[in-house]
Amino acid sequence: MNNVHTMKVFACRNSEAFARNLAGHLGVKVGEVKCDAFSDGEFQPAYLESVRGATVYIVQSTCPPAENLLELLLMIDAAKRASAYEVIAVMPYFGWARQDRKDRPRVSIGAKLVANLLKASGCDRVITCDLHADQIQGFFDFPVDHIYASTVFIPYLKSLNIPDLAIAAPDMGGAKRANAFAKYLHCPVIICHKTRAKANVVDSITAIGEVEGKNVVIVDDMIDTAGTLTKASNVLKEMGAKSVRAVATHAVLSGPAYERIAESALEEVFISDSIAITCDPSKDTRKFTVLALEETFANIIKAGYNYESISEKLIY
């Protein structure tokens, strides 16, 4: 069945490079938009071309979250008010995803609130990657296409032919993800158990599993301040690992993250381009290898646009 609606791809300001590469894989051009700013910081995005009757894809990673999320919501609202047939938010990184439950009294569930805001703005579907918790998909009252970056990372790790490979989860919550990698790579799993003093501050880490003599790859969904990752890598090295590498989809890399990674036992860190890595020359990025997700996103968009199944295009 052929879709009669025109496909149009637009970029918010934070994800212009990702959108250009994505559009290239789709064989279309990024649509023209502008964003007028007021002196008090208020801004108003506008489309410079018609979107009437079109299936509109708006690309935006919400990192940093607040202003980028608001820009995405305004873009969705503008497209709906301009009579777009369908508006789909392409969010390589879904901010606020760590707030997926009430883990202590009197806190918000930010991921649910963001889902409600997207619905209220007129969003018809979200395409995102490696949510912090799979159950966040249930917060939405419309379809979510959840892409797994393992579709890119696993073939890359296989191509490296690392001997004595072991996959490690940096905490108990990452065990499912680590098991998925280990299943495809046919290697053992190591589980790190951590305790936190407070948010973004790791108190202690212990590792469970056979570490000595292994080339360990730690698998996680994101690197924020890199406290957990670097402490886990140092512990694994002290326990006799031959080498320690890391795979993380979302390179938030806030605060002292770059310095911690540079000084840690990590030999390499494989990340995706869901969040653009800094161009700041003062940051040490020598350990980083960036893998592109745009082709994977394009394949999912093509399948959805043509009413085809997407499941066979992903490694879970």
Query: How far is CA 302 from its chain centroid?
Result: 20
Q: Which residues of 169-182 are buried (b: 16+ CB within 10 A; e: fewer)?
A: bbbeebeebbebbb
Please confirm whether the linkage preceding 143 is cis (ω < 30° from 0). Answer: no
Asked if residues 178 and 191 have their Cβ atoms less than 8 Å apart, the reply is: yes
Q: How many angstroms separate the Cα of 111 from the Cα of each of 3, 140, 251?
A: 32, 10, 19
> How do beta strands 55-59 and 86-91 pair?
parallel
Q: What number of residues does the chain have?
A: 316
Tokens of 139: 């917060």
Tokens of 301: 């968009």
Residue with tokens 């046919």: 186
- Between CA 156 and CA 165, with CA 161 as vertex, the angle to 5 degrees is 100
**Residues 6+ positions from 273 with CB-CB distance below 8 Å:** 17, 18, 92, 290, 291, 292, 293, 294
**Residues 6+ positions from 310 with CB-CB distance below 8 Å:** 145, 299, 300, 303, 304
| CA-based radius of gyration for the chain | 20
Catalytic residues: 194
State the DSSP code for 74.
H
Tokens of 269: 């860190």
How far is Cα 191 from Cα 280, in angstroms, rounded to an integer? Answer: 34
